[in-house]
Amino acid sequence: MNSMTTTDILWHRVATVQDIPENGGACALIDGKQIAIYNFTRRGEWYATDNLCPHRQQMILSRGMIGDMQGEPKVACPFHKKTFSLKSGACLSGDNYEIKTYPIKVEDGLIYVGLNV
């Protein structure tokens, strides 16, 4: 795995664009941490969040359906369909949960996720 550093973020190269299904997600293991990566083809956007759903502590969000709620991009947990903003990590289905989001970028068909050092 290649890494590059910008300020205090450490960028990890995790996969190629083809590895992540269109309008869907996949899970990357970065330093033992599970990060969900979403290829929001429809919006031409990429997102990265925790893979852990805070509702029942399940490692699953990368297998959730993505979409939007009034324009806000979101992911729905496959277990009980709690939904979370891909931008802010806030729970959009009315509970007091939050997930972490991470910076993500694509260069030359390669995906990089940034974690704080």
Partner 1 sequence: MNTEKVVVVGNGMVGYKFCEKLLKKDSSRTFEITVIGEEPRPAYDRVHLSEYFTNPNPDHLTMAPVEWYIDNSIALHLGDPVQKIDPSKKCIYTLQGKTFAYDHLVIATGSAAFVPTIPGVEKDGIFVYRTIEDLDLIISYAKKSKIGAVIGGGLLGLEAGKALMDLGLETHVVEFAPRLMPRQLDDTGSETLQTKLESLGIKIHLNKNTSFFDGAASVTALQFADNSRLEVDMVVISAGIKPRDEVAAKAGLEIGPRGGIVVNDALQTSQQNIYAIGECALHRSMIYGLVAPGYEMAEVVADRLTGGQKSFSAFDMSTKLKLIGVDVASFGDAFGSAEGATKICFEHKEKGIYKRLNISADKKHVIGGILVGDAEQYNMLLQMVNNKMVLPEHPEDLILGARGEGKSSGGAGVMQLPDEAVVCSCESVTKGALCLAVEEGNTDIGAIKKCTKAGTGCGGCVPMVNDLIKETLKAQGKVIKNVLCEHFDYSRQELLDLVKVGGLKKYDEILNQHGKGDGCEICKPAVASILASVWNEVILKQDTIQDSNDRYLANLQKGGTYSVVPRIAGGEITPEKLIVIGEVAKKYNLYTKITGGQRIDLFGAPVHLLPDIWEELVNAGFESGHAYGKSLRTVKSCVGSTWCRFGVQDSVSFAIRVEDRYKGIRSPHKVKMGVSGCVRECAEAQAKDFGIIATEKGWNLYVCGNGGAKPQHALLFAQDIDEETCIRYIDLIMMFYIKTAEPLTRTATWLNKMEGGLDYLKQVVIQDSLGINEQLLREMQLLVDTYHCEWKEVVENPELRKRFKTFVNSTDSDAEMAFEPMREMKKPSNWTV
**Site for ligand FES, rule CB under 6 A:** 53, 55-56, 58, 77, 79-80, 82
Please report how many Cα atoms fall inside a 13 Å half-sphere around the Cα of residue 25, on the Cβ side: 26
Nearer to partner 1, 4 or 69 (CB): 69
Burial of 33 (0-12, 13-18, 19+ CB in 10 A): middle
CA-CA distance, 116 to 52, in Å (whole number)? Answer: 18
Which partner, ligand FES, partner 1, none, binds residue 99 by CB below 5 to 8 Å per kind? none
Which partner, partner 1, ligand FES, none, binds residue 67 by CB below 5 to 8 Å per kind? partner 1
- Min dist CB 60 to ligand FES, Å, is 6
